[in-house]
Amino acid sequence: MSEMDRARFEELMDSYVLGALTEEERLEFEEHLASYPERQSEVDELSATAGLLALYPEEREPPEDLRGRIMHVVEAESPERPQQAERRTVFGRLGELLSARSLALGAAALLVVGLFSWNMVLRSDVQELQSRVQEMQVSRDARMITLEGPGLEQGAHVELIVAGDDRAILMAENMPPVPEGKTCMIWVIDDAVPKPGGLFDPKPEAVAAVVEEPLGGADAVAITVEPEGGSPQPTTDPMLSAEL
Amino acid sequence: MANKGRQYLLYADEDLMSLVEGGDAGAFAALYDRHSRAAYSLAYRMMGEKQAAEDLVQDAMLKIWRGAGSYRAERGSVRTWILSIVHNRGIDQLRSLASRRRTQEKVEAEAPRSQPSEAFAESWRNSQREQVRAAMRTLPPEQLKILELAYFSGYTHVEIADMLDLPLGTVKGRMRLGLQKIRAFFDSRDLAVPQ
């Protein structure tokens, strides 16, 4: 938009502050405003009048859980969040542990369980996890993979710790709540075929779960929301996933 | 922590915004508690149902949390800014809906309801709300309807003209007269337009 005369500016201004311009007109108007910043105060004044309409609707109390959902994300993103450092410590220590060549397997298993039982909520009980961890071959090939996807926007942080023999533990934190009757399901995807890898309950606290399907040769790991008890095939799009 | 929470209650909105810009989640919670009711009421009016209203408020509030640095005090109050974000996101969502469930009947069915004296007793914010409602009641129905279709239902002036079978100039004229009349309501009573 090159030039907009005063009459055109005034003609569009009312619709602009009400949000009623077409996209083209809005761009035209804002381009003009950028060129004539002295007219901004006029627009602000009329916007204040139009903004009064926001106070017109009948008052409604927002649902209590809406605050919790929003603050869950906000606190996860806040740089002041105290548990952030703690989480890194746990993940970091576990990563070091799994790559520690000199560590005896039994001691490693105990340490893993010690870390988890310290402040984590386990899908299964600690003893079960301990026995599964003891089966895992701990070597310098162990690696940590961060899952990505839409779940990140809700503050979820999920890492997969893959041991040398392609068995893995999934650690999830700040998982968004799922509807009643639903749970999170892990999938190991091999040649585009998703294989069930276990279930875990999403919680704001840290959750650990052993991936029940070996990862050998698999292409990716994904998490979907499924009915309690799991599904034979994914029924929703992955909220988080990682290529292996 | 509890003391800090109480301290937030003493801060002005603009001070809370500065803290939010620095990533202070407690300050954001205080802002949410102050303005979520107005934000949700607006969202519900625009979206017409609970779940969509919740989604809109969540979307807008997270935008506010992540974009607190874009607030400019010289352009208006924090409340006006928050509600403008809810409004703009709401319009975006309404316009992107595959099937527009918005109808003229919906607007008519949700005609304004007055909530007289009790609002005055609650707080000065509710008092402002009541002043706004009083201002709206001074509008002729044809002006009020056009303002509602534009502001709450997200229709463009061209769409409103088509829908009501009116010349575009008439729609624009009624928008202008409606806004002028609201402004005149406050001017005539020596009331400042709430920011």
**Are B41 and A73 a contacting pair at CB < 8 A?**
no
Provide the residue type at A215 as one letter.
Answer: L
Backbone phi, psi, residue A95, to 5° = -60, -45
Measuring CA to CA, which residue among A242, A218, A31 is closest to residue A156? Answer: A242
Decide if A49 touches B, using CB distance below 8 A.
yes
Taking only residues 159 to 178 of chain B, the set having a beta carbon closer than 8 angstroms to any beta carbon of chain A reads: 160, 172, 175-176
Share of chain A above pLDDT 90, in %: 20
> ipTM, 2 decimals?
0.79
Measure CB to CB from residue A57 to each of B41, B62, B154 and give the nearest one.
B41
Measuring CA to CA, which residue among A170, A83, A66, A192 is closest to residue A124? Answer: A170
Measure CB to CB from residue A52 to each of B41, B160, B194 and give the nearest one.
B194
pLDDT (tens, 9 = 90+) of chain A, 244 residues, equals 445 688 889 889 999 999 999 989 999 999 888 888 889 999 998 998 999 999 999 889 999 899 999 999 999 988 865 444 344 444 444 444 444 433 344 444 444 444 443 333 343 344 444 445 544 444 445 677 888 888 777 778 888 877 766 778 888 877 888 887 888 899 988 888 888 888 888 877 777 777 888 887 888 899 988 888 888 888 888 888 888 8
Q: Are A14 and A46 in contact (CB under 8 A)?
A: yes
Tell me the nearest-neighbour CA distance from A23 into chain B, angstroms.
9
Chain A contact set for B28 (CB, 8 A): 71, 74
| Smallest CA–CA distance from B176 into chain A, residue | A14
| Smallest CA–CA distance from B181 into chain A, residue | A49
* Chain segment B9-47, per-residue pLDDT in tens: 778 888 899 999 999 999 999 999 999 999 999 999 999
Check residue B108 and give its pLDDT.
Answer: 43
Q: What tokens were used for B168?
A: 């575009």
Decide if B94 touches A, using CB distance below 8 A.
no
Tell me the nearest-neighbour CA distance from B102 into chain A, angstroms.
15
* Chain segment B144-190, per-residue pLDDT in tens: 999 999 999 999 999 999 999 999 999 999 999 999 999 998 888 76
CB under 8 Å to B169, separation ≥6 — which residues?
Answer: none
Neighbours of B142 (CB within 10 A): 13
Q: Are A198 and A210 in contact (CB under 8 A)?
A: yes
Measuring CA to CA, which residue among A133, A118, A77, A223 is closest to residue B68? Answer: A77
**Are A47 and B32 a contacting pair at CB < 8 A?**
no
